[in-house]
């Protein structure tokens, strides 16, 4: 049974979401603020639902904080309907965005779709080996193969590729990539674009996998699995 964390300060909405999902066969846990939700991250949830307007730390801040700690899908359910709000959500790492008031069946359908896609992707993860389409990366041997042929990458290019593939399907901002791969909050994030360019020239000249989301960041497509 898939386990879902619901984070919403509106108890009525949170309980409604819980009832909908429990009826659909899911297990749910409700928390009403970001701080309490953070304490549960070790519970290995299959999906997390976040409201944006939370007391104290907002849902967007929480998403940005946990995105590099959890790989499960994150769905925003929010009354914010402006395109810019949705773009911000995707930029910081959410996988889907549903506006309030929501349709019960749509929530269930999107939850199922995101979990199904996540589990499908993770079938390709074994002992630090990721394979998407023609590209295979082995974290243990530090090898990258394209169509079965070894490709030489620098250590930072390798780390960048692994991070992109590990988060395939998620739009990642340059800041997120820089913080995760270079493990720093300071420096020239322009180096991300340079390394992306180098990586494409070596493994993705046709930009089949690494795509640019203009004004947001980059995404490694997982539809080629």
pLDDT digits (tens, 9 = 90+) for 159-191: 999 999 988 888 888 888 888 888 765 667 788
At residue 225, does pLDDT exceed 50? Answer: no
Alpha-carbon dihedral sign for residues 194, 198, 201, 205? negative
At residue 115, does pLDDT exceed 50? Answer: yes
**Do 48 and 63 belong together in one domain?**
yes
* CA separation for the pair 224, 154 (Å, rounded): 25
Mean pLDDT value of segment 40-68 = 87
Structure tokens at 7: 């984070």
User: CATH number for the domain including 207?
Assistant: 1.10.10.10
- Beta carbons within 8 Å of 80's beta carbon, 6+ residues apart: 52, 53, 99
Domain that holds residue 193: 129-220
CA distances from 130 to 15, 61, 122, 217 (A): 37, 29, 9, 22
How many structural domains is the chain composed of?
2
Alpha-carbon dihedral sign for residues 12, 18, 19, 21? positive
At residue 86, does pLDDT exceed 60? Answer: yes
Place of tokens 């901002």: 173
Structure tokens at 202: 């070596």
Give the confidence band of 218 by pLDDT, cuts at 50, 70, 90. Answer: very high
**Do 7 and 116 belong together in one domain?**
yes
**Do 7 and 113 belong together in one domain?**
yes
pLDDT at 122: 63
**Do 117 and 139 belong together in one domain?**
no
Whether the bond between 128 and the residue before it is cis, its omega within 30 degrees of 0, is no
At residue 124, does pLDDT exceed 90? Answer: no
């Amino acid at each position: 049974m898939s386990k879902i964390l619901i984070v919403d300060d509106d108890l009525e909405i949170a309980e409604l979401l819980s009832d909908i999902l429990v009826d659909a066969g899911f297990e749910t846990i409700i928390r009403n603020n970001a701080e309490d939700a953070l304490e549960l991250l070790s519970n290995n949830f299959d999906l997390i639902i976040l409201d944006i307007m939370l007391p104290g730390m907002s849902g967007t801040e929480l998403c940005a904080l946990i995105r590099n700690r959890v790989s499960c899908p994150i769905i925003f359910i929010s009354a914010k309907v402006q395109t810019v709000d949705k773009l911000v959500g995707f930029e910081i790492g959410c996988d889907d965005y549903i506006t309030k008031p929501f349709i019960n069946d749509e929530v269930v359908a999107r939850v199922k779709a995101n979990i199904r896609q996540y589990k499908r992707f993770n079938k390709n993860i074994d002992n630090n080996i990721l394979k998407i389409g023609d590209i295979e990366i082995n974290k243990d041997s530090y090898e990258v193969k394209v169509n079965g042929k070894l490709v030489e990458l620098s250590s930072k290019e390798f780390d960048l590729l692994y991070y992109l593939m590990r988060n395939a399907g998620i739009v990642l901002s340059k800041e997120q990539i820089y913080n995760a791969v270079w493990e720093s909050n300071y420096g020239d994030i322009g180096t991300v674009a340079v390394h992306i360019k180098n990586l494409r020239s070596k493994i993705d000249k046709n930009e089949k996998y690494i795509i640019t989301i203009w004004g947001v960041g980059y995404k490694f497509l997982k539809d080629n699995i």
